[in-house]
C-alpha cells in the first residue's frame, strides 16, 4: 500500500468520523427540540389532570389532606404538597392549619 492510498484512507476515515459526529450532533438537536418538548408537555398534562382530580375530590368531600392526595394519585409526599400549594396559589383551595398532621385544604 502506497502513501497515496494511505492518505486517501485517512481522509476517508476522517470524513466518516466527522459525518458520524455531525450526525450525532444533529440527532441530539432534533431530540432536544422535539422529544423533550413532548415529555414536558406530557408532564404538564399529567399535572393538570392530577390537580383536576383533587378538585373533583373536593366536590364530594369537605376537605383533602396531603395523605389523601398521595393515596389518590400514587405520588410522593413532596409532589402532593406541590399540587396542593399550586391549587392554593391559584385560589382554588385554602390551607387550614399551620403545619403537621392537622393541616388540610378546603375549597374556597
Q: Report pLDDT for 23.
A: 59
- pLDDT tens track, the chain, 108 positions: 566 666 666 665 656 656 555 556 655 655 565 556 665 677 778 889 999 999 999 999 999 999 999 999 999 999 999 999 999 999 999 999 988 888 999 998
Q: Report pLDDT for 60.
A: 93
99 φ, ψ (degrees, to nearest 5): -160, 160
CATH of 3-107, picked from 1.10.10.10, 3.30.70.940, 3.30.1340.30, 3.40.50.1820, is 1.10.10.10
* Every domain of the chain and the residues it spans: 3-107
pTM beyond cutoff 0.75: no
Amino acid at each position: 500500500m502506497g502513501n497515496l492510498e494511505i492518505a486517501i484512507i485517512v481522509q476517508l476515515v476522517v470524513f466518516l468520523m466527522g459525518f458520524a459526529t455531525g450526525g450525532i450532533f444533529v440527532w441530539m438537536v432534533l431530540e432536544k427540540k422535539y422529544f423533550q418538548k413532548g415529555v414536558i408537555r406530557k408532564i404538564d398534562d399529567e399535572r393538570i389532570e392530577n390537580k383536576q382530580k383533587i378538585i373533583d375530590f373536593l366536590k364530594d368531600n369537605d376537605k383533602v389532606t396531603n395523605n389523601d392526595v398521595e393515596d389518590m394519585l400514587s405520588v410522593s409526599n413532596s409532589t402532593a404538597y406541590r399540587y396542593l400549594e399550586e391549587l392554593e396559589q391559584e385560589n382554588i383551595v385554602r390551607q387550614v392549619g399551620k403545619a403537621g398532621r392537622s393541616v388540610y385544604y378546603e375549597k374556597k
